[in-house]
Amino acid sequence: MGLLTGDALLSVAVAVAVFLLLLDLLHRRQRWAARYPPGPAPVPVLGNLLQLDFQDLPYSFYKLRHRFGDVFSLQLGWTPVVVLNGPSAVREALVDHSEDTSDRPSVPIYEHLGFKPHVQGVVMARYGPAWREQRRFSMSTLRNFGLGKKSLEQWVTEEAACLCATFATQDGLPFYPKALLNKAVCNVISSLVFGHRFEYDDPSLGRMLGLLEELLKEESGWMPQVLNTFPLLLHVLGLSERVFSGHIALSVLLDELVAEHRRTWDPAQPPRDLTDAFLAEIEKAKGNPASSFNQENLNAVTSDLFAAGTATTSSTLAWALLLMILHPDVQRRVQQEIDEVIGQGRRPEMADQACMPFTNAVIHEVQRFRHIGPLGTPHMVSRDTEVQGFLIPKGTTLITNLSSIMKDETVWDKPLKFYPGHFLDTKGCFVKPDAFMPFSAGPRTCLGEPLARMELFLFFTSLLQHFSFSVPEGQPQPSDHGTCGILFIPQPYQLCAVSR
């Protein structure tokens, strides 16, 4: 067949353009439905992609909320999206209509990376039996972790002691705390999943953390949006292998660790950790095609726990230490409370929390003021649903702008300031406003919340029990403005940890 030239080429181009425009109209038909939320006008094919700053989506959403209100719509490529802002819209959607808003959107890049009906892990699993089974399993393993030799609290307490010992080796000289916080928190997940902690200089731990960081980068910014909008690009020669090399390498590493674990697994003994408990479930589920307990899903679930449970908690701790060096008066009050309630003679315990309202308020205020997951995780509406009087059609992706709740002027006295008083009543007792929801709400709320709370309290109090933190002499005050990707993290900063 000869090459098309002249008029024929023009006709083909016009036909393709008309076809694309019709397809575009088809994808946008929701916008004309009655009571569909307002939003900025999309352009053909790209929708609103070019109107958003993917390096700082919370700020783009902040401006759009001022223009369009608490519930506004966007078109990301051909994906219809509704963004929910403020506590009442988010609660109404996630709690009052939880049955209709707990699904996750299907993500072509994950499907390309191996998602199948019974291999979805937990975080991005569709709302159905496989998700329910794995969520229940992870939660009960977290709850019953005492079934191994050590309780989860013991693991965290011992890890906090290792972290303090390593901080002490810095001899009060300036250092970047982020890498050590990451290692300590990753070790807690590793203890839960593999019953094993790594020494901080173990190259396997460094490799795992490097891949987890890679994975977060791969999911941020423009590229995933473009590939999800035009999944055909995923099949372009080696593109996805290059863009998602971190995902793939992490999966290989976890496969190796699980295989290693399997060699030492004795089904006759009580499970040592989550992997043992999962392997036992795989045995039980043999011959049951409906079960989500299988080798591939073990990899997906463990990968989810490492990814969701490491940088979230360690970045919150990094914010906490940063805010302590920027607010030495607050740091001193926390240390005073630690000295009164715990002293220097023993390690902090979870039971101390109830007697430490100020420390508890500081940790909550860190999470409010510098919330690491400003936009939560996307949900999808599985049935036409009404929120704040707007109609959100089935199939629409929901983004819960948790950052808008944490800064809502109608809830917080000083939304843009670091002010632990937000969580204290007039008598100095700890109070938690309903709008505080860093872990989201409803059936998909963070399943690691109890563990995260335990880690934040035990790591933070252990560190402040042993050290006074300060900005290194001669260095400018570090900024409390962060960098926003999938997570909102502090810019790299150094501190000095001087033994008390």
Is residue 401 at the binding interface for ligand HEM, with CB under 6 A as the rule?
no
CB under 8 Å to 314, separation ≥6 — which residues? 178, 181, 182, 184, 185, 186
Residue 377 sits in the site that holds ligand HEM (CB under 6 A): yes
**376 belongs to the binding site for ligand HEM (CB under 6 A):** yes
Comparing every residue's Cβ against ligand HEM, the nearest one is 448
Confirm or deny that 162 is annotated as ligand binding: no
Q: Of the two residues 379 and 471, which places its CB atom closer to ligand HEM in the complex?
A: 379
Stretch that binds ligand HEM, among 73-81, 159-167, 236-244, 307-315 (CB under 6 A): 307-315
Q: What's the min distance (Å) between Cβ of 462 and ligand HEM?
A: 17
Residue carrying structure tokens 């693991």: 155
474: left (phi over 0), alpha (psi -120 to 50) or beta: left
Instruction: Name the 3-class secondary structure at 385.
Output: strand
Say which DSSP state 271 is in. Answer: P
Binding of ligand HEM at residue 313 (CB under 6 A)? yes
Min CB(314)–ligand HEM separation in Å: 9
Tokens 């055909």 — which residue? 232
| Least distance between ligand HEM and beta carbon 235 (Å) | 28
C-beta separation of 80 from 398 below 8 A:
no
CB-based contact 193:307 (threshold 8 Å): no
CB of 102 to ligand HEM, least distance (A): 8
- Please, where are the H alpha helices in 370-497? 402-406, 449-466
Q: Beta strand pairing status for 397-401 and 79-85? A: parallel
Residue 308 within binding range of ligand HEM, rule CB under 6 A: yes
Does residue 373 belong to the site contacting ligand HEM (CB under 6 A)? yes
Q: Which stretch binds ligand HEM (CB under 6 A): 84-92, 312-320, 350-358, 407-415?
A: 312-320
440-469 residues in contact with ligand HEM (CB under 6 A) are 440, 444-448, 451-452
* Cα–Cα distance, 147 to 32 (Å, whole number): 55
Residue 213 or residue 245: which is nearer to ligand HEM going by CB?
213
Of positions 80, 195, 309, 490, contacts ligand HEM by CB under 6 A: 309
Residue 197 belongs to what H/E stretch?
Answer: none
Binders of ligand HEM: how many residues, by CB under 6 A?
24
Helix and strand numbers, DSSP H then E, in the chain: 19, 10
With 0-12 / 13-18 / 19 or more C-beta atoms within 10 angstroms meaning exposed / middle / buried, residue 432 is exposed
Instruction: Return the number of the residue (24 or 273) whose C-beta is nearest ligand HEM.
Output: 273
Q: Does 97 bind ligand HEM (CB under 6 A)?
A: no
x-or-dash pattern for ligand HEM, window 99-138, by CB under 6 A? -----------------------xx-----------x---
| C-beta of residue 376 within 8 angstroms of C-beta of residue 82 | no
Run of H or E residues at 304: helix 295-309
Return residues touching ligand HEM (CB under 6 A). 122-123, 135, 304-305, 308-309, 312-313, 316, 372-373, 376-377, 438-440, 444-448, 451-452
